[in-house]
Amino acid sequence: MAPEVITALGSTRIYGSGEIELRALQDVDFDIEAGETVVLLAPSGCGRSPLLNTTGGFDQATSGRLLFNARTRQDETRRSAAEFAW
């Protein structure tokens, strides 16, 4: 088994606050191993874009952890964080 390159643990993304909240992702867990190809097929409005945006580092999850090679983005310096997912 290849090592996990990307791991999501309880990833949740909520838009809005107060009375109006939209849960785009709720408690998402997954592992992507080195060399693995992943395809996301799902109906419109299911949260594909928030999942890809948080995984790619373009948006931040409201809660949960996202690990790249067992490190979080917070582990990186400002310079390397900009190149973190790439």
Strand partners, 14: 23
Q: Which amino acid is at 46?
A: C
pTM, rounded to two decimals: 0.74
Q: Look up the CATH superfamily of 4-82.
A: P-loop containing nucleotide triphosphate hydrolases (3.40.50.300)
pLDDT in tens, 46-68: 999 999 999 888 898 999 998 88
Percentage of the chain lying above the pLDDT 90 cut:
52
How far apart CA 50 and CA 56 sit, in angstroms, is: 10
What 3-state DSSP class applies to 81? Answer: helix
